[in-house]
């Protein structure tokens, strides 16, 4: 059994330390970049362009340093190191998860064959597209969030925002590495384009809709990290199964970083709900805004919106592309190796919802053609967990009100529900009924401006905004009052 080698020919020593990251080089990496001078030079040529992009469209508020974690090794233990870092000196680099010896493709028509260490010619265009679309989302969210620092509800939260931002920047590096290393001139050109499209730019927008939406306030940010970063988690989960081993190893390590983004979203919304629940309990009947907190109905509307736009990111329920990606071995299902079926899926079917004559009805479709729906269902089940957790805060406060995910058909622009109006409760309604009630279901300009008015900076150590509770503990065993960001 031999360990698969990377394209650089630098086979990792299976008995050596767990892929330590080499920080002595201009581009920190654990892929032996210095053994491939051409690739190294190409990436060193891209690096200043990335830095220009970060300065222009990364976090807008000037800071001295931020208490950030940096990867030191990709193994299970001790991969993170915490320190105060001036953000522009953050060491973005290329980190792949350890290779799995003799890794085999787990699904599709190539099931059982050795995973590919180079790009198979027949799948080159599809792989390039998958990597470009994933890569495009990473810098997009940094652009969307660039003004949030100036209204951070605490230094703790500001630090978490910046941690997410530098890691999304690193995820861009992860995809650009694959483009440069495996796709030649075409890959290098796509890498340039990743810095040229910008979130919300009318002439050159980001590829996916949710990544062109505004993130104007922290309620949106926490909903984004909960729902939209979680879409990212599920997409990465399918790519981590890829037969193209460098992509699989890249995504596996990205998923470890992504866990923190999930944490920021889950606990961020949780702390907002906790504050709202406290006020509702202690001042029944009062206007929440008067207490500097956010009404539960408004939290629900933000949740509705972010869930719907994130559901659209999964694409159409029925997709020939998704089926082809699977059969070709490019993109697996969530938890592919844990599934108890033949991993080929020919002749299998499943149920899906469609709208017919103003009603939602089920129809039976081939499973292979409905893999986007398969992934989306996994995602929705995961989303429910957070909602349950948030509802606990309401229950503990002795309140009857609850938050809920809207129906899967609510406010959808993509797939089977596009062109129909479905209420959060799952009722199909006509245009007039929809127009009459959207203000109950989606944030209104007034909601947004009231939330916006609460976004006043809390930039003193230990100070927290009125509309959320402080976290139960700080980062890396530091206190909640620690000055996580210095100006």
Q: Which stretch binds Fe ion (CB under 5 A): 125-133, 229-237, 266-274, 303-311?
A: 229-237
Query: Cα separation of 151 and 141, whole Å?
Result: 17
Nearer to Fe ion, 224 or 467 (CB): 224
Give the C-alpha separation, 358 to 364, whole Å.
19
Give me the phi and psi of 364, to 5 degrees please: -95, 130
Smallest gap, in angstroms, from Cβ of residue 200 to Fe ion? Answer: 18
CB of 241 to Fe ion, least distance (A): 18
Smallest gap, in angstroms, from Cβ of residue 46 to Fe ion?
18
- If one counts every other C-beta atom within 10 angstroms of the C-beta of residue 363, the result is 11
Closest CB to Fe ion among residues 138, 312: 138
Nearer to Fe ion, 225 or 276 (CB): 225
Closer of 73 and 140 to Fe ion (Cβ): 140
280 phi and psi angles, rounded to 5 deg: -60, -40
Is residue 50 within 8 Å of 41, Cβ to Cβ? no
261 lies in the binding site for Fe ion (CB under 5 A): yes
Q: Which is nearer to Fe ion, 190 or 258 (CB)?
A: 258
Angle between helices 296-312 and 445-454 (to 10 degrees): 110
Q: Which of residues 164-223 bind Fe ion (CB under 5 A)?
A: 168, 171
Q: Which of 205, 177, 170 is nearest to 191 (CA)?
A: 177
Q: What's the N-to-C CA distance of the chain in angstroms?
A: 53
Q: Which residues between 124 and 143 bind Fe ion (CB under 5 A)?
A: 138
Q: Is 229 in the site for Fe ion (CB under 5 A)?
A: yes
Closer Cβ to Fe ion, 36 or 168, answer by number:
168
User: Strand, helix or coil at 328?
Assistant: helix
Q: Which is nearer to Fe ion, 172 or 273 (CB)?
A: 172
Q: Of the two residues 190 and 274, which places its CB atom closer to Fe ion in the complex?
A: 190
Stretch that binds Fe ion, among 49-57, 149-157, 163-171, 210-218 (CB under 5 A): 163-171
Encoded tokens for 289: 């805004």
Choose among 451, 433, 413, 415: nearest CA to 308.
413
One character per residue 270-299, x = contact with Fe ion (rule: CB under 5 A):
------------------------------
Q: Residue 485: count other Cβ atoms within 10 Å of its Cβ.
A: 26
User: How far apart are the C-alpha atoms of 484 and 487, rounded to whole Å?
Assistant: 10
Residue closer to Fe ion by CB (options 173, 410) is 173
Angle at 77 between CA 76 and CA 78, to 5 degrees: 125
The nearest distance, CB 58 to Fe ion, in angstroms, is 14
Least Å from the CB of residue 226 to Fe ion: 11
Query: Taking the complex as a whole, how short is the minimal distance between the CB of residue 279 and Fe ion, in angstroms?
Result: 31
Q: How many CB atoms lie within 10 A of CB 224?
A: 28
Count interface residues toward Fe ion (CB under 5 A).
6
260 binds Fe ion (CB under 5 A): no
Neighbours of 41 (CB within 10 A): 9
Question: Please, what is the minimum distance in Å from the beta carbon of residue 236 to Fe ion?
Answer: 8
CB of 261 to Fe ion, least distance (A): 4
Answer yes or no: are the C-beta atoms of 218 and 200 closer than 8 Å. Answer: no
Sign of torsion over alpha carbons 54, 60, 62, 65: negative
What is the nearest approach in angstroms of Fe ion to the Cβ of residue 254?
6
- Chain residues in the site for Fe ion (CB under 5 A): 138, 168, 171, 229, 258, 261
């Amino acid at each position: 059994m031999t360990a698969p080698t990377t394209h650089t020919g630098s086979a990792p020593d299976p008995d050596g330390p767990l892929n330590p990251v080499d920080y002595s080089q201009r581009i920190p990496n654990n892929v032996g970049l210095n053994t491939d001078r051409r690739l190294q030079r190409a990436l060193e040529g891209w690096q200043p362009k990335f830095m220009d992009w970060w300065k222009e469209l990364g976090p807008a508020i000037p800071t001295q340093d931020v208490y950030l974690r940096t990867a030191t090794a990709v193994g299970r233990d001790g991969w993170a190191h915490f320190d105060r870092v001036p953000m522009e000196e953050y060491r973005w680099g290329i980190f792949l998860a350890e290779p799995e010896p003799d890794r085999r493709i787990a699904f599709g028509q190539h099931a059982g064959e050795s995973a590919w260490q180079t790009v198979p010619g027949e799948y080159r265009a599809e792989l390039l597209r998958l990597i470009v679309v994933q890569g495009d989302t990473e810098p997009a969210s940094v652009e969307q969030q660039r003004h949030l620092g100036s209204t951070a509800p605490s230094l703790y939260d500001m630090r978490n925002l910046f941690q997410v931002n530098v890691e999304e920047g690193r995820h861009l590096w992860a995809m650009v590495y694959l483009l440069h290393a495996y796709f030649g001139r075409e890959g290098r050109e796509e890498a340039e384009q990743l810095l040229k499209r910008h979130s919300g730019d009318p002439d050159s927008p980001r590829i996916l809709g949710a990544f062109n939406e505004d993130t104007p306030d922290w309620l949106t940010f926490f909903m984004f990290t909960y729902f939209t970063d979680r879409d990212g988690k599920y997409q990465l989960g399918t790519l981590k199964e890829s037969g193209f081993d460098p992509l699989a190893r890249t995504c596996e390590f990205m998923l470890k970083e992504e866990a923190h983004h999930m944490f920021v979203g889950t606990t961020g919304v949780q702390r907002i709900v906790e504050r709202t629940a406290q006020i509702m309990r202690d001042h029944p009947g009062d206007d929440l805004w008067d207490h500097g907190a956010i009404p539960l109905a408004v939290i629900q509307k933000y949740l509705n919106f972010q869930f719907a736009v994130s559901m659209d990111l999964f694409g159409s329920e029925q997709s020939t592309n998704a089926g082809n990606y699977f059969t070709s071995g490019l993109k697996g299902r969530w938890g592919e190796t844990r599934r108890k079926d033949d991993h080929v899926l020919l002749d299998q079917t499943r149920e899906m919802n469609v709208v017919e004559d103003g009603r939602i009805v089920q129809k039976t479709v081939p499973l292979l053609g409905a893999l986007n729906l398969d992934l989306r269902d996994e995602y929705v089940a995961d989303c429910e967990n957070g909602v349950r957790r948030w509802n606990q805060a309401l229950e503990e406060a002795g309140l009857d009100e609850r938050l809920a995910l809207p129906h899967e058909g609510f406010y959808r622009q993509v797939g089977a529900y596009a062109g129909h109006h479905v209420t959060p409760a799952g009722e199909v309604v006509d245009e007039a009924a929809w127009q009459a009630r959207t203000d109950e279901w989606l944030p209104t300009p007034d909601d947004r401006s009231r939330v916006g008015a609460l976004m006043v900076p809390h930039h003193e150590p230990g100070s927290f905004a009125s509309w959320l509770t402080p976290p139960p503990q700080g980062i890396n065993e530091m206190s909640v009052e620690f000055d996580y960001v210095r100006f």
